[in-house]
Chain A
Amino acid sequence: GIQVEQSPPDLILQEGANSTLRCNFSDSVNNLQWFHQNPWGQLINLFYIPSGTKQNGRLSATTVATERYSLLYISSSQTTDSGVYFCAVEDGQNFVFGPGTRLSVLP
């Protein structure tokens, strides 16, 4: 099955800083999504982005499908951005998740 890696595993930022999270996958995909798991455990869908670039407020994502990676950009980070960020790719009839990047934004 498809393998998904994420980097870095942990990231600590000062409020207001920018960051880039990376997701690498081992095979071509038709569906890639980014999720945020907040400190209360809720999994929120941020982007559906199998290719190209999308922006939503301070967050944007880019997927380069031919090179099998996706990037999530967080600008002007806030403490509410803390949590774990996952990318997930479609593999047959289910979604495979990466191990996540744990982000801590300090006030």
Chain B
Amino acid sequence: DTAVSQTPKYLVTQMGNDKSIKCEQNLGHDTMYWYKQDSKKFLKIMFSYNNKELIINETVPNRFSPKSPDKAHLNLHINSLELGDSAVYFCASSQWGDEKLFFGSGTQLSVL
């Protein structure tokens, strides 16, 4: 069983479209995250979500919105996609105050 799974693995879309990436974890963790990895491999936090508290990185455009239907899911919605949104997006989870961070396999988003 995959601990943190995200879909789709690849997403190719036109500028201006709206898209979503789904993430699910079966580890029973209480905190989930979205990270963006750019072409130079830098990993930057976008959001963390813990017990219904959302922590937003202030540099993230408001076109990006996380939605958590329950503790095991944290989806990422992106409105009005731009060329600069092209990147790999990783979902991750952890048990707050505990040890390890676990990542999904990533979603490569290409905006044309």
Q: A52–B43 Cα gap in the complex (Å)?
A: 26
CB distance from B83 to the nearest CB of A (A): 21
Task: Known contacts A42-B105, A93-B55; decide if A37 and B41 are in contact (CB<8 Å).
Answer: yes
Q: Is A43 an interface residue (CB 8 A)?
A: yes
**B99:A48 contact, CB within 8 angstroms:** yes
Decide: B100 and A94 in contact? CB cutoff 8 A: no
Expressed in whole angstroms, the minimum distance between the Cβ of B56 and any Cβ of chain A is 10
Stretch at the interface among A18-26, A56-64, A74-82, A95-103: A95-103
CB–CB A97/B43 < 8 A: yes
| Chain A residues within an 8 Å CB radius of B100 | 33, 45, 48
Chain A 1-58 residues near chain B, CB threshold 8 A: 31, 33, 35, 37, 41-43, 45, 48
Interface size class of chain A, counting residues whose CB lies under 8 Å from the partner chain: 20 to 34
How many of chain B's residues have a CB under 8 angstroms from any CB in A?
24
Q: Tally inter-chain residue pairs, CB-CB below 8 A.
A: 51
Flag B1-43 by CB within 8 Å of A: 1 or 0 each: 0000000000000000000000000000001010100001111
Closest to B49 in A: A93
Report A-chain residues with C-beta under 8 Å of the C-beta of B48. 93-94
> Contact check: which of B35, B41, B44 meets A100 at CB < 8 Å?
B41
CA distance A92 to B35 in the complex (A): 16
Q: Which of B42, B99, B103 contacts A99 (CB 8 A)?
A: B42
Q: How far is the CB of A47 from chain B (nearest CB, A)?
A: 9
Whether B102 is near chain A, meaning CB under 8 Å from some CB there, is yes
A41 touching B106, Cβ below 8 Å: yes
Instruction: List A residues at the B interface (Cβ < 8 Å).
Output: 31, 33, 35, 37, 41-43, 45, 48, 84, 86, 88, 92-97, 99-100, 102
A sample of 9 inter-chain contacts (CB < 8 A) reads A41-B88, A41-B108, A45-B100, A48-B100, A86-B43, A95-B45, A97-B42, A97-B44, A99-B41
Known: A33-B99, A97-B35. 4 other contacts (CB 8 A): A43-B106, A94-B57, A97-B42, A99-B40
